[in-house]
Chains A and B, each alone.
Chain A
Amino acid sequence: MSAFIQLVVSGLATGAIYALVAVGFALLWQTSQTINFAQGEFVMVPAFFVLVAIKYWGFGYWPAIAVGFAISALLLGAAFKGLVVEPMLRHGVLPLVISTVALAILMKEAVKDFYSSQAQQFPAIVEGTDLDFLGAVVSTQSIAVIVVAIGAVALLNWFLSSTLTGRAMQATAQNRNVARILGIDVERMILYTFLINGLLTALASFLISPIYLAKFTNGETLGLAAFVAAIVGGFNQVRGAVLGGLILGILDNLAAAYVSAQYRAAVPLVVLVAVILWRPQGILGRVEERSV
Chain B
Amino acid sequence: MASVLEIADLHKSFGGIAAVNGVSFTVEEGEIVGIIGPNGSGKSTLFNCVLGQLQPTSGEVRIDGRVTTGMRPCDLNALGVSRTFQLLQVFPELTVRDNLIAAGQEHCGTMFSRLFGPRDAGLGPVADRMIEFFRLSHVAGERAGRLSYGQQKLLDAAMAFMGGPRLVLLDEPAGGVNLTMLGDLRERLRAINRERRSTFVVIEHNMDFVMSLCTRVLVLAEGRIIAQGSPDAVRNDPKVIEAYLGP
A and B, direct touch (CB closer than 8 Å):
yes
> Is B227 on the interface with A (CB-CB < 8 A)?
no
Q: Are B14 and A289 in contact (CB under 8 A)?
A: yes
Number of interface residues of A (CB under 8 A): 3
Chain A residue with Cβ nearest B47: A292
> Is A129 on the interface with B (CB-CB < 8 A)?
no
Contacts of B206 in A (CB 8 A): none
Closest CB in chain A relative to B158 CB, distance in Å: 20
Closest CB in chain A relative to B12 CB, distance in Å: 10
> Is B54 on the interface with A (CB-CB < 8 A)?
yes
> Is B53 on the interface with A (CB-CB < 8 A)?
yes
Closest CB in chain A relative to B160 CB, distance in Å: 14
Closest CB in chain A relative to B19 CB, distance in Å: 10
Closest CB in chain A relative to B49 CB, distance in Å: 11
Q: Are A292 and B14 in contact (CB under 8 A)?
A: no
Number of interface residues of B (CB under 8 A): 7
Contacts of B209 in A (CB 8 A): none
In B9-28, the 8 Å CB interface with A consists of 14
> Is B134 on the interface with A (CB-CB < 8 A)?
no
Closest CB in chain A relative to B41 CB, distance in Å: 15
Closest CB in chain B relative to A122 CB, distance in Å: 48
Contacts of A289 in B (CB 8 A): 14
Cβ proximity bits A256-292 to B, threshold 8 Å, 1 near / 0 not:
0000000000000000000000000000000001011
Q: Would you call the interface of chain B mostly helix, strand, loop, or mixed?
A: mixed
Contacts of B44 in A (CB 8 A): 291-292
Chain A residue with Cβ nearest B54: A291
> Is B91 on the interface with A (CB-CB < 8 A)?
no
Contacts of B54 in A (CB 8 A): 291
Closest CB in chain B relative to A94 CB, distance in Å: 14
CA distance A292 to B48 in the complex (A): 8
Cβ proximity bits B53-71 to A, threshold 8 Å, 1 near / 0 not:
1100000000000000000
Contacts of B85 in A (CB 8 A): 292
CA distance A292 to B45 in the complex (A): 9
Chain A residue with Cβ nearest B86: A292
CA distance A289 to B44 in the complex (A): 15
Contacts of B14 in A (CB 8 A): 289
Contacts of A292 in B (CB 8 A): 44, 48, 53, 85
CA distance A244 to B45 in the complex (A): 35
Closest CB in chain A relative to B88 CB, distance in Å: 12
Closest CB in chain A relative to B3 CB, distance in Å: 25
CA distance A289 to B14 in the complex (A): 9
Contacts of B53 in A (CB 8 A): 291-292
Chain B residue with Cβ nearest A289: B14
Contacts of A291 in B (CB 8 A): 44-45, 48, 53-54
In B82-97, the 8 Å CB interface with A consists of 85
CA distance A292 to B49 in the complex (A): 11
In B193-207, the 8 Å CB interface with A consists of none
CA distance A292 to B86 in the complex (A): 9
Residues of chain A having any CB pair with chain B under 8 Å: 289, 291-292
- Besides A291-B44, A292-B85, 8 new A-B residue pairs in contact (Cβ under 8 A), listed by A number: A289-B14, A291-B45, A291-B48, A291-B53, A291-B54, A292-B44, A292-B48, A292-B53
| Sample (6) of A-B pairs whose CB atoms are under 8 Å apart | A289-B14, A291-B53, A291-B54, A292-B48, A292-B53, A292-B85
Residues of chain B having any CB pair with chain A under 8 Å: 14, 44-45, 48, 53-54, 85
Please name the 3 residue pairs, one residue from A and one from B, whose CB atoms are nearest each other, closest first: A292-B53, A292-B48, A291-B48
